[in-house]
Amino acid sequence: MTNEELELRTKKHDLADTKLVLNLPYNIVNKNYADQLNRSASSTAANYRAACRATSKNDFISRLKIVEEQFDETLFLLAQLVELNPELNEKIGAIYKEGNELLSIIVASLNSLR
């Protein structure tokens, strides 16, 4: 997979998370999780884009570590939202699965770079 393809996948994942946030039932708990999910998901896409523009191998690794952390947080928040909104299990599950695949790719990339 090329950097461009992975960049596109992270962007699509961010958009899927954003659309989920826009369609969550409104209550104070969902609002708090949705706000944090929106930040962490957009951070994964933005930081991967920044990693692709890194000026050195160490800079690339450093930025990928941020992407890894943000994906992990995003997956945690998605799992929490499923617990709070079991009726959305199928929809959130698909987003979670793609995020988990992307996180696996990022972790594999970091392991190869080290």
90 band by pLDDT with thresholds 50, 70 and 90? very high
Give the per-residue pLDDT at 70.
97
77 pLDDT higher than 90: yes
Which pair of tokens denotes residue 40? 């962490």
Condensed to tens digits (0 to 9), the pLDDT of residues 7-20 reads 999 999 999 999 99
Average pLDDT over the chain, rounded to an integer:
97
- CB-CB neighbours of 31 under 10 Å: 13
Give the per-residue pLDDT at 67.
98
Task: Locate the domains of the chain by residue range.
Answer: 3-113
User: Which of 83, 75, 78 has its CA nearest to residue 102?
Assistant: 75
Q: Class of 3-113 per CATH? A: mainly alpha
